[in-house]
Amino acid sequence: MRLLALLIVTLFCLTGEARAEEVAGCGEFEGLESTAFKSKLTDEQRTCLEDFVNSAEPHAATRASFVLITNAFMAGEQDTYAALLRRHLTLVNTTDADVAYMYAILLEQKSASPFERLRWVRVAIENRVQWAKQARVYRERMKRLYQMRIEAGLETLIIAEKRNNENPTTLNSERVASYRERAQYWTQVAAPCLVYDDCGPYWDVEVIEDDVCEDLETFDTPAKVGKLTEQEVSCLKGRWIRMPLGRSRVMGLLVSNADGSEDPAVWDHLLTWYHNETGQHEAGLALRHGRYLGKRGEVYASEVIRWSQIVVDQGPELTGKRHKGMLGEALVIRVKAQKQLVGVAKRTHDGAGSVETELQYSTARERHTSFVAELKDYCGGIASDCPDDWRSELP
C-alpha cells in the first residue's frame, strides 16, 4: 500500500494548490483536505461532504469526493476506500485518470479479476492527457499502466485457455485466439515506453497543443546528422499521426535522423513505433534499416538478414520498378550478411573444433548457397532491378 500512500500525498499536494473554495455548509476545501490527510474528518463532515458530492457541479464534486477518498485511505478503512474509489469513477467523474490509476493499482494488489483491472486501466490510459503537463508523472504512470495491462491481459488468456480445455467449443476457441492476439498487441504497444522510455507525452498529447515541428524545413540539416531532439522526434511522430497527407515528408525526416545517428537504437525505436501504429513492417523502412546495420559490421549480420528477409517476403507485392529494385538490393545485402556469418562460424569452428561448431559452420554455408541461388535467379533475369555490383556477391 506504500505506493498508494505516495500517490495520495502527490494528489493531495496538487489539489492543495487550487484556489480556496467553499464547500456549502462544510467549510473550505483547504481545511477539509488537511483534516482528511490526517484521517480526522468527523461523521458530520463526512455526511456533509457526501451530500455535497451528490449535489455540486462536477469540478467541486470531484474534489469533495477525493477528500472522502483521502480520509478513508489514511484511516486504513480499506473497504470504504475501495467503495469510494469505485463510486467516484462510476457516479462522480467517470474520466478521472488519477482515481482510475489508483483503483487499478488497488485491484492489482488485491488480485482482483483481470477483467475488472483492465476496465480501469483502460479508463486511465484513455484519459492520460490529464497528466500531459507533468512529464515525469506521465512517464511513470504510463509504464505502470502498460505493465498492468500486459499482466492482466495474459491472465485473461490463461482463463480463456482453461475454459476451452474444460469445454472445447467454437466460441471458447475464438475467445482464446482473440485474447492471445490482444495480449500480443498490448505488448507491442507498450514496447516504446517499457523498452525505450518513450512514454510521451509529446507525440501523443502535447504536440496537439504545442506544435514544435510546424516548419519541416528547419529539421532537414539536423536530421541528416541524427541530431533531432527527443521532443522534435516526438512532435514529428504526432504530426505523422494527425496529418496523413504529409506523411512521406515527415517519415523522410524520421528515417534521415535514424540513418544519421550513431546509435542503432534510434532505428529500433522508429521501427517499433511504426509497427505499433500500423500493425505491419514496411518494406522500404526494413530495407533502409538493413542497409544501415550492414555498414556496422558483422556483429549485426543476423539483424541485417532479418530485415532484408522482410523485404524478400513482401516480394510478390513489390510490383513497381522502384519496388523491384528494393527487392534486388535486399537479396544482395542478405547474401553479404550471410557471408559474414559463414566467416564467424568458420572462425568459431577452427577455434573449438567440436561436432556442434562443425554443424553450425555447415548450416551457415548451406544457407549462404541458398541465398546466392535466389540472388542469381532474380538478378540474372532482371539485372536492371538489382545493384550494379550484384555479381560480385556470387562465388
pLDDT tens sequence across 15-48: 444 444 566 577 787 888 888 888 888 888 888 8
Residues 304-326, mean pLDDT to the nearest whole number: 82
Q: How far, rounded to the nearest angstrom, does the alpha carbon of residue 257 sit from its chain's CA centroid?
A: 20
pLDDT surpassing 80 at residue 308: yes
pLDDT > 70 fraction of the chain, expressed in percent and rounded: 88
Note the pLDDT of residue 182. Answer: 86
Q: How far, CA to CA in Å, does 225 sit from each of 123, 246, 262, 266?
A: 40, 22, 9, 12
- Per the CB < 8 A criterion, the answer to whether 205 and 132 are in contact is yes
Query: Residue range 257-261: average pLDDT?
Result: 95
pLDDT (tens digit per residue) in 127-148: 887 887 777 888 899 999 999 9
Cell (9 digits) for 128:
492520460
Answer yes or no: is pLDDT of 196 > 80.
no
The mean pLDDT of 276-295, rounded to a whole number, is 87
- pLDDT value at residue 211: 61
pLDDT given for residue 41 in this prediction: 85
Give the pLDDT band (50/70/90) at residue 268. Answer: confident
Residue 1: pLDDT over 60: no
Q: Is 238 or 335 the better-scoring residue by pLDDT?
A: 335
Query: Does residue 292 carry a pLDDT above 50?
Result: yes
First to last CA, the chain: 66
Q: What is the pLDDT of residues 367-391, one digit of tens each?
A: 999 999 999 888 887 546 788 888 8
DSSP β-bridge partners for residue 22: 28
Average pLDDT over residues 111-123: 93
- Residue 246 has what pLDDT? 85
Q: Is 23 helix (H, G, I), strand (E, B) or coil?
A: strand
Please tell me the predicted confidence (pLDDT) of residue 203.
47
Place of cell 449535489: 55
Amino acid 126: pLDDT = 78
Cell of 127: 484519459
pLDDT reading at 394 higher than 90: no
Mean pLDDT for the chain overall: 84
* pLDDT surpassing 70 at residue 302: yes
The burial class, CB within 10 Å (0-12 / 13-18 / 19+), for 25 is exposed
**Mean pLDDT value across residues 237-258:** 88
- pLDDT score at 2: 52
Q: Which amino acid is at 113?
A: S
Most confident of 202-211, 222-231, 236-245: 222-231
- What's 279's DSSP letter? S
Q: Is the pLDDT of residue 226 over 80?
A: yes
Residue 206 has pLDDT above 50, yes or no: no
What pLDDT shows up at residue 344? Answer: 93
Q: Which of 196-200, 261-265, 335-339 has the highest mean pLDDT?
A: 335-339
pLDDT at 108: 94
What pLDDT is stored for residue 3 in this prediction? Answer: 53
**What are 41-77's pLDDT values in tens digits?**
888 888 888 888 888 888 888 888 888 998 888 888 8
List beta partners, residue 28: 22
Among 4-8, 96-100, 235-239, 316-320, top mean pLDDT goes to 96-100
